[in-house]
């Protein structure tokens, strides 16, 4: 096994998370993978007629775990031990309601299916309907 070191780049987008493993010694791209958010792909927490576009935090967590595992499987055995860093990029801000312990509400059993307890996407404009009632 070589002494090379690797980094993993993660890019979280609207539909998926992408992973790239790079050799830091020579810049070579060693492995890539894409995982689509399960709930988003199934149309959960989306209502375009109301301009509602939400993500469940578990989509991010589960997809991140899967994308890293699959990208590392393409590498020689035990190369995961040579990863020295992970960088993360996102589309933009993702507001989310949290409790006093800073846990996103949709990760709590009583709010697990409540769209108002989810991440609010950049293209969610549900506030427009409410704003029109205050004119």
Which of 45, 35, 44 is closest to 15 using CA atoms? 35
**Where do we find the tokens 């009632």?**
133
| DSSP characters over 80-104 | GGGEEEEEEEESS-----B-TT--B
Q: How many CB atoms within 10 Å of residue 91?
A: 12
80-97: average pLDDT? 90
SS3 21: strand
Helix ranges, 2-133 (H): 38-41, 57-73, 126-132
Q: Per residue in 22-56, pLDDT tens? A: 999 999 999 999 999 999 999 999 999 989 999 99
Evaluate if residue 79 carries a pLDDT over 80: yes
In CATH, the architecture of 6-132 is 2-Layer Sandwich (3.30)
């Amino acid at each position: 096994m070589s002494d090379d070191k690797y980094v993993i780049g993660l890019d979280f987008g609207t539909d998926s998370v992408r992973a790239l493993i790079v050799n830091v010694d020579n810049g070579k791209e060693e492995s890539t993978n894409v995982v689509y958010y399960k709930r988003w792909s199934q149309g959960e927490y989306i209502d375009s007629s109301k301009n509602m576009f939400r993500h469940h935090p578990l989509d991010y967590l589960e997809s991140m775990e899967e994308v890293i595992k699959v990208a590392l499987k393409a590498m020689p055995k035990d190369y995961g031990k040579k990863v020295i860093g992970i960088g993360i990029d996102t589309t933009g801000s993702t507001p989310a309601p949290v409790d006093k312990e800073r846990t996103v509400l949709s990760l709590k059993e009583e709010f697990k299916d409540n769209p108002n307890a989810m991440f609010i996407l950049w293209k969610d404009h549900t506030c427009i309907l409410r704003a029109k009632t205050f004119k």
